[in-house]
Amino acid sequence: MYKEKKTLAIITARGGSKGIPGKNIKSLAGKPLIAYTVEVANKSKYLTRTIVSTDYDDIRDVSKKYGADVPFMRPKEIADDKSTSIEVVQHALNWLKDNDNEEYDYLMILQPTSPLRSAEDIDECIKKIVDTDADSVMSMVELTDFSLKKLKKIENDLIQPLLQESEDGAPTQRQELSKVYKRNCAIYLTKVEYIMEGDLFGKISRPYIMPDERSIDINESIDFETAKFWMDNIN
């Protein structure tokens, strides 16, 4: 809890990954992938409770082995490719209210595919959303190798500038100096009132910037190797 505000973290871990079968419990540097998220969440100072939402017995059992709270099994109707994150977390919030008589101010989604986020990242997001009264906070990473000058579009088989260029063919100074960011999928934090309305972001969404080395999002097999490299070299 932070400043009397309660935050529920949900580790969303569906079992039917098609790209990498068994991805959420696949070994990374000697531990199942999901273990990193479970352990980091348990180290947080400000999370009120952390649970795992899964539809697979194997994921439930591995999660519990590493200290996770798995109070229910996710229903099949919200455990397929078409199910949304909103449906999953709404189900969890409703289940906890009906069965454990628990209600929360904020909901944090933690995906197992971001094994390098830290407990400090989690806590700083909670501090930011409470202290600024934002509707949501989203973890992001700067695209340091991004250049607006390189962006082009193709029309009638001709390469054309995507953005307006100056007379010498270069982007304007303002465009060149603009930093660009993308979601790194490590942390999504939102007021529960918006979650229950089906809105993950609300009206005021603020960024939490993370460095490249903690922004790995595992979607392909090669990402496991990248994550292991950073684990070996991050300290």
Question: pLDDT per position in the chain (235 positions), as tens?
Answer: 999 999 999 999 988 766 788 899 999 989 999 999 999 999 999 999 999 999 999 999 999 999 999 999 999 999 888 889 999 999 999 999 999 999 999 999 999 999 999 999 999 999 999 999 999 999 999 988 766 677 788 998 888 887 765 555 555 555 555 788 999 999 999 999 999 999 999 999 999 999 998 999 988 888 888 888 888 876 5
Asked whether residue 30 is domain-assigned, the answer is: yes
Are residues 63 and 166 part of one domain? no
Domain that holds residue 12: 7-142+181-233
Are residues 102 and 12 part of one domain? yes
In the chain, DSSP finds a helix count (H) and a strand count (E) of 7, 10
Asked whether residue 2 is domain-assigned, the answer is: no
User: Helix, strand or coil for residue 219?
Assistant: coil
Angle at 190 between CA 8 and CA 113, to 5 degrees: 70
Asked whether residue 186 is domain-assigned, the answer is: yes
Are residues 160 and 118 part of one domain? no
Are residues 148 and 132 part of one domain? no
What is the predicted pLDDT for the residue at 208?
A: 97
Asked whether residue 132 is domain-assigned, the answer is: yes
Are residues 167 and 70 part of one domain? no
Are residues 128 and 58 part of one domain? yes
Question: Look-up: residue for tokens 């871990």?
Answer: 13
Question: Which of the listed residues 134, 158, 179 is the one where a domain comes to its end?
Answer: 179
Are residues 193 and 131 part of one domain? yes
Question: For residue 47, which of 126, 112, 139 has the smallest C-alpha distance?
Answer: 126
Are residues 193 and 94 part of one domain? yes
What is the spatial distance between Cα 30 and Cα 105, in angstroms, rounded to a whole number? 36
Asked whether residue 87 is domain-assigned, the answer is: yes
Are residues 188 and 86 part of one domain? yes
Q: Which one-letter amino acid corresponds to residue 16?
A: G
Are residues 72 and 62 part of one domain? yes
Q: Please give the tally of structural domains in the chain.
A: 2
Query: Would you state the torsion angle of the CA atoms of residues 215, 188, 94, 62, taken in this order, to the nearest 10 degrees?
Result: 10
Residues in the chain: 235
Are residues 64 and 169 part of one domain? no
Asked whether residue 1 is domain-assigned, the answer is: no
What CATH number is attached to the domain comprising 211?
A: 3.90.550.10
Are residues 156 and 138 part of one domain? no
Whole-angstrom CA distances from 22 to 68, 96, 105, 107, 192 are 18, 27, 33, 26, 30
Asked whether residue 129 is domain-assigned, the answer is: yes
